[in-house]
């Protein structure tokens, strides 16, 4: 009888432990589901915002004459070429994580922009910075706004190679600092990963992830 009682107690304890594990697992699943739903909402909001900005840009572009559009395209090509020439005269040096992250981004120069893409072969702005820093073991979210909340703030005068540089008041664009007042970034649909002067876009701040 004592042995049976001991077995029953053991079974009861196992059952209670299994119940507790089940409750914990259910709570974890509910938490993960809520987190996933919230992330999906954020991604949809970012996508909607991006679509709106692209639509607005297309409206402005549609009002320009063919000659004006060509002048803008030519100016952008000249600016990118100047930035690339300047960058080639200042090769990436250093063994820090930032320099290595920048070297990863440099290897993607010329690859096309694609929204929500994080390589290989095509990139959006935060996808490029995410994978660049991921290549040195630093995890970043695929969102420029979320990246802006990570790492530590860096003054514009203290920028180092690979620092994340953010643009526009609503923080919807990011690139990696490449020295001489330039960044490497994935610009927009129809463009490719390139060097560009920071002064060509409204500066919003900078962060150093790792």
Calpha distance 210→158 (Å, rounded)? 15
Alpha-helical segments (H) within 63-124? 66-88, 97-106
SS3 61: helix
Give the active site residue among 27, 142, 172, 185.
185
3-class DSSP state for residue 47?
helix
Q: Which residues pair with 164 in a beta bridge?
A: 176, 207
> Which run of H or E residues covers position 166?
strand 164-167
Q: Is 125 one of the catalytic residues?
A: yes
Provide the token pair at 75.
């100016």
Look-up of token digits 């960044």: 183
Crossing angle, helix 97-106 and helix 125-134, to 10 degrees?
130
Catalytic entry in 27, 142, 172, 173: 173
Catalytic member of 27, 125, 142, 172: 125
- Determine whether 173 is an active site residue: yes
Tokens, residue 137: 């073991």
In angstroms, the Cα distances linking 110 to 26, 35, 62, 122, 169 are 47, 36, 26, 9, 27
* Cα–Cα distance for residue pair 187/123, rounded to 1 Å: 9
Output the six-digit token pair for 38.
């919230």
Positions marked catalytic: 125, 173, 185
């Amino acid at each position: 009888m004592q042995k049976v009682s001991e077995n029953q107690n053991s079974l009861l304890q196992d059952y209670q432990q299994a119940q507790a594990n089940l409750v914990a697992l259910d709570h974890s699943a509910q938490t993960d589901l809520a987190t996933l739903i919230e992330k999906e909402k954020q991604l949809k909001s970012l996508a909607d915002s991006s679509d709106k900005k692209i639509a607005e840009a297309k409206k402005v572009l549609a009002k320009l004459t063919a000659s004006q559009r060509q002048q803008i395209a030519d100016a952008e090509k000249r600016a990118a070429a100047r930035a690339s020439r300047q960058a080639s005269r200042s090769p990436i040096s250093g063994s820090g994580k930032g320099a290595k992250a920048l070297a990863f981004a440099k290897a993607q120069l010329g690859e096309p922009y694609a929204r929500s893409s994080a390589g290989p072969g095509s990139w959006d702005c935060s996808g490029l910075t995410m994978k660049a820093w991921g290549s040195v073991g630093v995890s970043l979210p695929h969102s420029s706004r979320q990246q802006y909340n990570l790492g530590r703030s860096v003054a514009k005068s203290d920028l180092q190679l690979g620092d994340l540089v953010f643009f526009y008041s609503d923080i919807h664009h990011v690139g990696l600092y490449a020295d001489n007042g330039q960044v490497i970034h994935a610009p927009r649909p129809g463009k490719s990963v390139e060097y560009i002067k920071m002064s060509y876009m409204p500066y919003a701040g900078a962060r150093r992830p790792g």
